[in-house]
Amino acid sequence: MTPEFVVEFAKQAIILTISLSMPMLGLGLLAGLIISVFQAVTQIQEMTLTFVPKIIAVFLGLLFAAPWMLDKLTTFTVNILENIPMYIR
């Protein structure tokens, strides 16, 4: 294993991690933005009002994105396991 290979392997893992987390982070951000605008308009400053919708949005996003995420993870893992003989050379 060369240092270039290790860096490329780590880069692929980081890109996969970011691409899998982006939908959930985006939904949490969008829900937080909508709730913040609602709080600013109504001047309601309840702390639980910010957390509950974000959690629900992220869980719903996870529910719908889970098959895609699982497919990406299994493809990455299968690729790693199939190429083990090439990695140890």
pLDDT at residue 3 in the model: 85
Could you read off the pLDDT of 42-74 as tens digits, one per residue?
888 887 788 899 999 999 999 999 999 999 999
Handedness of CA 38, 41, 47, 48 (dihedral sign): negative
Q: Per-residue pLDDT averaged across 24-45, rounded?
A: 91
Residue 89 has pLDDT above 80, yes or no: no
Residue 1 has pLDDT above 80, yes or no: no
CB atoms within 10 A of CB 51: 13
Number of helices (H), then strands (E), in the chain = 3, 0
Beta-sheet strands, E only, within 1-89: none
pLDDT at residue 34 in the model: 94
What is this structure's pTM?
0.78
What is the domain partition of the chain in residue ranges? 3-87
